[in-house]
Amino acid sequence: MCRKVLNVMWRNYISRLRIRKVPHRYQSDYHPVAPLGSRILTDPAKVFEHNMWDHMQWSIEEEEAARKKVEENSTVRVLLEDQVKYESEASKYWDTFYKIHKNKFFKDRNWLLREFPEILPIDQETEEKTKELPQDHVKMNATNCSRMYCTTVPEEKNYKRISDSSDGQSKAGSDFSNLDSKEHRKEPLKTELFPGSNATFRILEVGCGAGNSVFPILNTLQNSPESFLYCCDFASGAVELVKSHPSYRATQCCAFVHDVCDDGLAYPFPDGILDVILLVFVLSSIHPDRMQAVVNQLSKLLKPGGMLLFRDYGRYDKTQLRFKSGHCLSENFYVRGDGTRAYFFTKGEVHDMFCKAGLDEKQNLVDRRLQVNRKKKVKMHRVWVQGKFQKPLSLTQKSTKLVFSILSHG
């Protein structure tokens, strides 16, 4: 009897998926065999044969030397009045940065899809993997795939209509939160348009800069018309660079100016509809006292089962060790010569911050690499923290996952 009930539940679930044509996304309880690269230095005499080595282990002496260096460059702090200026004029400094460098400073992040396959809907990710692997390898591993699936059925919400401007950019005065729940219970549900409202898989990149993540993602999503990419930055110059790029497609992307530290600003879409949020080398530029509020707000934008993908500077990265005395704002927080700022995280800090926002940790790794200048024979230690954090599933989604698990093992 129990099995019959489960079969009925499963058939109903599949029927709903077919009607909505909703794509799936891989869960992150799967870990690559060799995450974060696989070039291992086994012979120190060969260190200058490549530009980068993965999974470097630090000696006790190296870690102690790094700690002392940070202690030295943190002794003299930036004056309080200057710290206030760097905080209040943060967007101006980044605007100046992009006016000077435009889109020439950072390289395109073509590694994103390798480290964060969650960016793609499952149907397209499977297709991408199939292209990369020999056909017999694909067939052999098809039955051994350990990833579970997660539905991305959006919850319909009521919200105010935003401007119908062609670029899809939100207006500062738009507000999705001032809703009367009693009135909404009386009225039938309405679906009003917003950029990406017809999409079934939605991604937001926070701090998009000149588009070094945007365009590798857009290039991949061109075969996935049901997907939509939002990207924002508080430097208006950066957003203009993105929107003027020849590969920018307003039909599948909405770039807009937004300060994530201002929780009074509305996004051009309602809460709880995002499948993926990309937060790569962004949080480190925000004052440590404001980071938790930013993460809390981003968590609200995710739908149940949605993923927040994080990568940023780690403690004792060579960037931190290179700061001169007088550039330290507070503990492990520095200002560069151009007025932009950088914080250096530990794995524990990252865990605490995202878990306090109600997200479940799926991955949290310290990525230690050795960067080599072969011409100058210089070795530099790079340290980054990479994490994947998931918004807990709703009760319905947990039940669906349980049914799927029971039937697949029946």
Q: What is the pLDDT of residues 150-182, one digit of tens each?
A: 333 333 333 433 333 334 333 333 333 333 333
Contact partners, residue 52, CB within 8 Å, separation at least 6:
37, 39, 369, 370, 371, 372, 382
Kindly give, in sequence order, each residue whose CB lies less than 8 Å from that of residue 378, ignoring residues fewer than 6 positions away.
372
Burial class (CB in 10 A: 0-12, 13-18, 19+), 54: middle
In whole angstroms, what separates CA 11 from the centre of its chain?
Answer: 34
- Please give the average per-residue pLDDT across 260-284, as a whole number: 95
Identify the band that residue 27 occupies on the pLDDT scale cut at 50, 70 and 90.
very low
What does the pLDDT look like over 68-77, one tens digit per residue? 999 999 999 9
Comparing CA positions, the residue from 180, 397, 167 lying closest to residue 302 is 397
Q: What is the mean pLDDT of residues 186-211?
A: 80
The CA dihedral of 350, 353, 355, 361, to the nearest 10 degrees, is -20
Report the pLDDT value the prediction gives residue 173, as an integer from 0 to 100.
35
Alpha-helical regions (H) of 187-235: 214-221
Higher pLDDT pick, 104 / 166: 104
Mention every residue, 6+ apart, whose C-beta is less than 8 A from residue 236.
91, 95, 257
Burial of 333: CB neighbours in 10 Å, binned 0-12, 13-18, 19+: buried
**In b/e form, how buried is each residue of 336-347, taking b as 16+ CB within 10 angstroms?**
eeebbbbbbbee
Terminal alpha carbon distance of the chain? 14
Position 251 confidence tier, pLDDT thresholds 50, 70, 90: very high
In this structure, what are the phi and psi dihedrals at residue 82, rounded to the nearest 5 degrees? -75, -35
* β-bridge partners, 371: 52, 380
User: 26 and 118 in contact (C-beta within 8 Å)?
Assistant: yes
- For the chain, the 3-state helix, strand and coil shares in percent, each to the nearest 5, are 35, 20, 40
The alpha carbons of the chain give a radius of gyration, in whole angstroms, of 23
Instruction: Provide the H-helix boundaries in 21-121.
Output: 60-73, 80-88, 90-101, 112-115
Measuring CA to CA, which residue among 153, 226, 155, 225 is closest to residue 191? 155
327-340: per-residue pLDDT in tens? 999 999 999 999 99
Residues of the chain with pLDDT > 90, as a percent, come to 53
pLDDT of 403: 67
Single pTM value for the model: 0.74
Q: Which two tokens stand for residue 139?
A: 């067939």
Q: Mean pLDDT of all residues in the chain?
A: 78
- pLDDT-derived band at 28, boundaries 50, 70, 90: very low
Strand partners for 92: none
Query: For residue 254, what are its two tokens?
Result: 């909405």
Please write the tens of the pLDDT for every residue from 121-143.
Answer: 876 554 554 454 444 333 333 33
Of the given ranges (50-59, 102-111, 315-324), which has the lowest mean pLDDT? 102-111
Query: How confident is residue 35, by pLDDT bands cut at 50, 70 and 90?
Result: low
Residue 48 neighbours by CB distance under 10 Å: 13
For residue 38, the tally of other CB atoms under 10 A from its CB is: 10
287 versus 182: the higher-pLDDT residue is: 287
Question: In this predicted structure, what is the pLDDT of residue 7?
Answer: 56
Mean pLDDT of 253-263: 95
Which tens digits make up the pLDDT trace of 39-51?
A: 877 777 787 777 7
Mean pLDDT of 198-219: 94
Task: Read off the DSSP letter of residue 124.
Answer: H
Higher pLDDT, 13 or 307: 307
Q: What phi and psi values does residue 141 have, to the nearest 5 degrees?
A: -95, -5
For residue 346, pLDDT beyond 80: yes
Q: What type of residue sits at position 11?
A: R
By three-state DSSP, how is residue 134 classified?
coil
Considering only CA atoms, which of 146, 202, 154 is closest in space to residue 27? 146
Look at residue 274 and tell me whether its pLDDT is greater than 60: yes
* Average pLDDT score over residue span 213-239: 93
